[in-house]
Amino acid sequence: MTRYAVPLHDLEAIWRTPMGAALVEAVLDDDRDGELVTVRGGDAIVLTGNAARVSALVAGLLRARFPGGLGRSARVYSDEGRGWQQISTSPPVSELPDDPPTFADAAAEEVSAHG
């Protein structure tokens, strides 16, 4: 299982942009265990959640540019068990199903589960 992490310094830097602020909130909002790791001498937070969520966060972080015209995006690292390596492309982002579930679908599941 691949894990992804982003340096806290980069999160702090992109926080000052509208897209970056939303990404930082998404990274920190659902952070269940707050796992910090050391990557290349700095603190980084491991991205958590299901595979689709993590893939979407990685894609967003790689596109979020630092403020002030620096032209650099947030760094994202992956670890597949061989150590943290910086990545430049995101993993595939899962697509939503053609017919997303509705409230009626959820109610039907609840009835069948209790019936």
Per-residue model confidence (pLDDT) at position 26: 86
**Which pairs with CB-CB distance under 8 Å and at least 24 residues apart come from 12-15?**
13/66, 13/67, 13/74, 14/61, 14/64, 14/65, 14/66, 14/67, 14/74
Mean pLDDT in order along the chain per 10 residues (115 residues): 91 85 82 80 91 88 78 89 92 64 56 50
CA–CA distance, 102 with 86 (Å, rounded to integer): 39
Local structure of 40: helix, strand or coil = coil
Closest by CA position to 26, among listed 3, 68, 55, 2: 55
